[in-house]
Amino acid sequence: MPGSVLRLRVRKALGNELDLSLKRMATSVIADKMRLFELFTAIKDRAIKSKDDEAWNRCDECIQLWTKMVVADAEHEDCIVSNVEALQKNCAQITDDLHAALERLAASRSPSRRASRMGQDAAYMSQVHGQVRVMRVELDRMVGPPPHLPY
């Protein structure tokens, strides 16, 4: 199932054990990467069969470099997902807070209640506005500022 985690314990030649966590991906998402790996493997196998050490070493270096790049991309994507989830949680909380403030405003329509609530609601809305500004800065830091927002 894509997105599920597979945990492996690998024993190295020297006897050291290493625990790995692998996240399953949909085949459609990694099809090009799989094909590229197959091509590298075929070239490396051919170099081994023809006893071409230089080609084998260069191919092995390509595979290692490519693997390093794929891992870095995956880590970056995981970081983005984590940041977006945190931002969504913050937005949901602010939305709930705004909804509660609007309900309080609607309930304070009577003149006697309006005066007592107005100061509290204004202070609260100022606090929420500050939180929205902080979230905008966080979002800009994660993905860059959108061109349509004035600063």
pLDDT tens digit string along 62-110?
A: 889 988 998 898 888 888 888 888 888 887 887 777 777 777 766 666 5
Condensed to tens digits (0 to 9), the pLDDT of residues 28-42 reads 888 888 898 899 889
In a domain, 97, yes or no: yes
Query: Which two structure tokens, joined as six digits, stand for 31?
Result: 């099809």
Number of structural domains, the chain? 1
In a domain, 76, yes or no: yes
Q: HSE (CB half, 13 Å, CA atoms) of 86?
A: 11
36 is in which domain, residue-wise?
Answer: 5-142
In a domain, 147, yes or no: no
Query: By CB neighbour count within 10 A (0-12 exposed, 13-18 middle, 19+ buried), where does 59 fall?
Result: buried
Strands annotated E in the chain: 5-11, 17-23
In a domain, 149, yes or no: no
Mean pLDDT, the chain, rounded, equals 79
Residue 149's pLDDT is 42
In a domain, 69, yes or no: yes
Q: Which residues are CB-neighbours of 36 under 8 A, at least 6 positions away?
A: 66
Condensed to tens digits (0 to 9), the pLDDT of residues 45-54 reads 998 899 999 9
